[in-house]
Amino acid sequence: MADAARKPDLPAILAEARAFHEGFATLMMATVSASGDPVASYAPYVVDGEGSFHVYISELAAHTANLAANGKASVLFIEDEGQASQRFARKRLTCACLAEEIARDTPVFAEVMSRFDHQHGSIMGVLRGLRDFHLFRLRPTRATYVRGFGEAFELDGALLDIRHLNDRGHPGGGRQGV
């Protein structure tokens, strides 16, 4: 009975993980350059009906060339430090993503840019006219959602399935001072 009381409510946690990004207007993104150098950055984003994130980014930013060259990114949404009860265990959603550029002359481009207009306001009128900006779809292939100590969960790419990662625990550690 004690084990049943400690089992996480996976459907509720899955719903929480899927909604976590909604509290953010921007995402943090990690990419890798052609020479293997890691690059961390951020970008405003929108989500499509399939759960993919979209970023509209300039060629002047290193992450644009990186996405075009290798089509991979890691996306992070993380709880504000000031809101976190413990800095070592901030709530966060990390998604490994495949990136693809969306061509300007497609209906998908027009639909996603309409979402950008709605969510990010009048600046989009200026940015749309800049030809060095490109629209990328970042499709999650897997994700990790951390709610706190001992509460890490792995999700599939569509964020439809979840499993608790606490089957082993941390080696050599108790939960002192937590």
Mean pLDDT of 63-74: 95
Gyration radius of the chain over CA positions? 18
Strands of 33-160 (E only): list them: 38-47, 53-58, 72-78, 92-102, 133-148, 151-156
Provide the 10 A C-beta neighbour count for residue 161: 11
Mean pLDDT of 59-80: 95
Helix (H, G, I), strand (E, B) or coil at 131: coil
Tally of domains in the chain: 1
Question: Residue 28 is part of a domain; what is its CATH number?
Answer: 2.30.110.10
For residue 123, being part of any structural domain is answered with: yes
Amino acid in the structure at residue 175: R
Q: Chain-wide mean pLDDT for the chain?
A: 88
Provide the 10 A C-beta neighbour count for residue 36: 6
Q: How confident is the model at residue 8 (pLDDT cuts 50, 70, 90)?
A: confident
For residue 11, being part of any structural domain is answered with: yes
Question: Which residues, 6+ apart, have CB-to-CB distance to 115 below 8 Å?
Answer: 46, 47, 48, 54
Print the domain residue range for 158.
2-164
- Residue 95 has a pLDDT of 96
Question: What is the pTM assigned to this prediction?
Answer: 0.86
For residue 152, being part of any structural domain is answered with: yes
For residue 99, being part of any structural domain is answered with: yes
pLDDT in tens, 10-44: 889 989 999 999 999 999 999 999 999 999 999 99
- Residue 114 has a pLDDT of 94
For residue 172, being part of any structural domain is answered with: no
Mean pLDDT of 70-94: 94
* Residues paired with residue 39 on neighbouring β-strands, in sequence order: 31
Question: Which residues, 6+ apart, have CB-to-CB distance to 65 below 8 Å?
Answer: 33, 34, 59
For residue 136, being part of any structural domain is answered with: yes
